[in-house]
Structure 1
Amino acid sequence: MNKILLIARREFLTRVQKKTFLLTTILLPLIIFGFYAMIIYFSVHGGSSVNIAVADNAHIFDDSISKTDDANFSFVKANSAEELRQQVTAGKYDGYIFVPASIDIAGKDSIQLVSAKSIGLISRGSIQDVINNKLEEKRMLALNISKAQLDSVHRKNEIKFSTISGSEDSDAKAGISYVVGMISGFLIYIILFIYGTMVMRGVMEEKVSRIAEVIVSSVKPFQLMMGKIIGIGAVGLVQFLIWIVLVVGTRVLLFSIFPELSGAMPGASAAQQVQASDVASAMHTLGQINWPMIIGCFIFYFLGGYLLYSSLFAAVGSAVNEDPQDAQSLTLPIIMPIIFAIVIMMKAVNDPSSGLAIFGSLFPLTSPIVMMARIAHGVPDTVPYWQLITSMLLLILGFLGTTWVAAKIYRTGILLYGKKVTPKEMWKWAFRKN
């Protein structure tokens, strides 16, 4: 055990003390957030709305169209569209709408917006919405139907959802569970790829440079493999924690330096319009999420998934020589279950109780990703305790099994040079007698 920890310490310090670690862990996230802040800042201060002149000779709009973020409507007097065209050509307006007195809004007559330059797709949609809303209100008044009457007909009754245990299952809770499950699953997916391949590259480098020959003269191949897995996993854990601190810290810093950015963040405009009761409801929904359970399970499945896949990546790295194409062909059987897990996760976040989601959350090669998508929907409401315990036990057994197989492959492959290894040969190494 001391030798494993010694190798793990060497792997950890070797990577943490490199300049590339500081660049990728600290500087790169800061640069990304810097660009992110610049994009938001210029989107707030650099945007310009389209100024549209409206000549309403049919008195449809009653000299009033709601202003949008993309368009500003100015009502003017004009007897023909040519007068408005001249004003747009002179640069006074960006476009115009001419409504003749003979227009029939109840028929097939359409309203035309003429602009000096092409209007973007999002701006088109917002302009169409405000104009159509005004036309709809005008048609209702013509039929002696008030907007309040129409709204009462269109009003939807709220349907409340709950589980058989009596706990509330609101749309907000389902949405938060969906987001939490998706983010958790994708984080573990990225971790398995990044740090699993990091273990494989570390093994390949030591094998190609012949350092492994010197090390295995003092320690067993299994101890060398486990030391590398634990050391690189510790690097990943430290890097992950630093990223969390940087994400939270830079976000707080952005809002403190640029308070106006809060209006430009995704969903901020909607958040500014909610009432105090909606905020209280959202906080109540967040309180219903079992965060200790989610965080604890995330750490378990993060560690379990990393240990399981990193042992397989280490086995591949030990069998590969200098040709990187060999590594690509041998890692395909390892990558396919991870991709398969993502496919199942996309199903599980929407239907966490389906047969496919249950299978994916129990199967060790897919459970680190799929189970996190299910746990976010609730334990034991959605995920019974027996499924959670079974999944964890199977993941532990899967890690022990893959470690045993990988150790036997590693023992042979780490000292084998000059031969292209096939998956069939690696299979023989794994199950042949000592």
Structure 2
Amino acid sequence: MSKISIIIQREYLSRVRKKTFILSTILTPLAMVAVLGAVIWITVKNVRNEKVAVVDPQGVLKSTLPSSKSVSYQFVADADTGNYTDKGFTAILIAPNTGINKGSNFKLVSEKSLSRMSNERIERDISHALENNLISTQLKIDPALIDSLKKQADGVSIEAVKKDELGELSSSNFDLASGLGYITAFLIYITLFVYGVMVMRGVMEEKTNRIAEVIISSVKPFELMVGKIVGIGAVGLTQFLIWIVLLFGLSTAMSALIPADVMAQAAQASNGMPGGAGNAQASDAIRNIANAQATLSTINWPVLIGCFIFYFLGGYLFYASLFAAVGSAVNEDAQDAQSLTFPITIPIILAIVIMINSINDPSSSLATWASIIPFTSPIVMMSRIPFGVPDTVPYWQLGLSMLLLVAGFLATSWLSAKIYRTGILMYGKKPSWKEMLKWVNR
């Protein structure tokens, strides 16, 4: 067994056997699912039913103001601002030029502020009721007929399809591709920071504890750096694979246990949508889930997963070598480490900014070149791949991006190894990038 493989095995096993690794790997998906379930439960439980007393002597709203699960209306002739709470109402709606309301707008009076969703619901209900009243009185048309026509027009949607080089058509879902692009790009973004810093701290600990001096007596500094980078990278890949399996299993179980009407009610509460047609919304939720499952089957999962693993490892190796070089140059001062890592983190932050832009236009020049340049390609390219290969991302762009990322890793490894071999045994001197460049030229 080579010396590098021994170091890789040591770095890998020493971390995966820790209780912190086991607990974080298992508890993180559980915590994410628990938080999601808690948000849904709290959202559903916090949907209040507001009882509103309506004072409308002219009867403009009486036949056209519908009640719903979130807001219910009751026309009470003897209700006023002094007794509506005694009658069990949370608010009173007074028509224009009625009682204390001398203005031309409806006035809503309540002791406590109503929720934003309830206020918006009441405004929509009044607007719709007035519209129906004008249609029936002035146009002499049944408002139900107008609503039916609107429903038919609103039911029309666009099915986006893509035409490949052979002229064949395939379905396209921009929202799904955007979601996958965000998720995969952010996972790589988090990886570059979390495991890159882990490499830097591991090197710093060995240096400050003088363990590196003992190890370097048996192996070359380059072998030690490569073994540490690959070992920690294997730990990160193992953790991600376990998370994917756990999250998939937990999300499947969660979707099976939570009723569709509860999910629809939670979505309605979070989006501020009307809550009147509960059964219709439950049917829509079931239909949307079925459509999402059908669309997921059109994704080229082998290409997506394969590219994710490549850019996960390639991006990590590209930046981890730079973090290792910084860790070898720093002694014990955390501020020195922060100042030296700042130039490394700038391209990562820039990549996440470009990624957000590339989600909106994956074929733009900015997204294309940022997905090819090694400093930003791991994040930006993964935001483009879900939109399709080779239609959105041609093969030449994908191949060139991968080739340059591998070349970039070799270049940063060579550069970092030159810094590492000197910095790992350098003590008592405050490092700087100027000093580190001198180590490269030796």
Same fold (TM over 0.5): yes
Residue 97 in 1 paired to residue 100 in 2?
Answer: no
Q: Is the 8 A contact 1:56 1:63 kept in 2?
A: no
Match of 1:343 among 353, 375, 398: 353
- Are 2:81 and 1:85 equivalent residues in the alignment? yes
Which of 392, 401, 405 pairs up with 2:402?
392
Distance 1:188 1:145 in 2: 61
Match of 1:318 in 2: 328
* 1:63–1:85 Cα change, 3 Å: farther
- Does residue 198 of structure 1 match 2:208? no
1:304 matched to 2:314 = yes
SS of the counterpart of 2:243? helix
State the 1:142 CA deviation. Answer: 3.1
Relative to structure 1, the CA distance from residue 13 to residue 145 in structure 2 (aligned partners, 3 Å threshold; closer, same or farther) is: farther
In the alignment, structure 2 segments of 5+ residues that lack a partner are 270-277
Q: Aligned residue for 1:133? A: 128
**2:12 corresponding residue in structure 1:** 12
Give how far 1:265 is off: 5.2
- 1:164 is displaced (CA, Å) by 5.0
Q: What's 1:414 paired with?
A: 424
Task: Output the TM-score relative to the length of structure 1.
Answer: 0.88
Whole-Å separation in 2 of the counterparts to 1:45 and 1:276: 21
Secondary structure of 2:219's aligned partner:
coil
Q: Distance in 1 between matches of 2:40 and 2:186?
A: 25
After TM superposition, the structure 1 = structure 2 runs for residues 352-363 of structure 1, keeping only pairs within 5 Å, are 352-363=362-373
Q: What letter is aligned with 1:16?
A: V
Report the alpha carbon displacement of residue 182 of structure 1 after superposing the two structures with TM. Answer: 1.4
Change (3 A) 1:354 1:252: closer
Contact persistence 2:362–2:387 (CA under 8 A)? yes
What is the root-mean-square deviation of aligned Cα atoms in Å? 2.8
CA distance in 2, matches of 1:253, 1:279: 14
Matched, 1:143 2:138: yes
Q: CA–CA distance in 2 between the matches of 1:110 and 1:313? A: 64
| Structure 1 CA distance for aligned equivalents of residues 162 and 253 of structure 2 | 41
CA distance in structure 2 between the partners assigned to 1:213 and 1:235 by the alignment: 25
The 10-residue stretch of structure 1 (61-70 or 149-158) with the greater mean CA deviation from structure 2: 149-158
Matched residues in 1 for 2:315 and 2:61: separation? 62
For 1:278 and 1:89, locate their aligned partners in 2 and report how far apart those are by CA, in whole Å.
Answer: 41
SS at match of 2:105: coil
Distance (Å, rounded) in 2 between the aligned partners of 1:123 and 1:350: 33
Residue pairs, 1:369-380, within 5 angstroms: 369-380=379-390
Greater Cα offset, 22-31 or 232-241: 22-31
The Cα offsets for residues 356-401 of structure 1, whole Å up to 9 and x where unpaired, read as 1111010011100011111111111111111111111111111111
Q: 1:194: Cα distance to partner?
A: 0.6
1:189 is matched with 189
2:188 counterpart SS class:
helix
Assess, with a 3 A threshold, how the Cα gap between structure 1 residues 289 and 231 changes in structure 2: closer, same or farther: same
Structure 1 distance, partners of 2:360, 2:91, is 45
- Contact 2:85–2:91 (CA<8 Å) still a contact in 1? no
**Distance in 2 between the 1:409 and 1:204 partners?**
14
CA–CA distance in structure 2, aligned partners of residues 328 and 275 of structure 1: 48
Which residue of 2 is the match for residue 58 of structure 1?
58
Q: 1:135 to 1:120 in 2, by over 3 A?
A: same
Q: State the identity %.
A: 49
Specify the SS of the correspondent of 1:404: helix
Please tell me the residue identity of whatever aligns with 1:129.
Answer: R
Aligned residues: 423
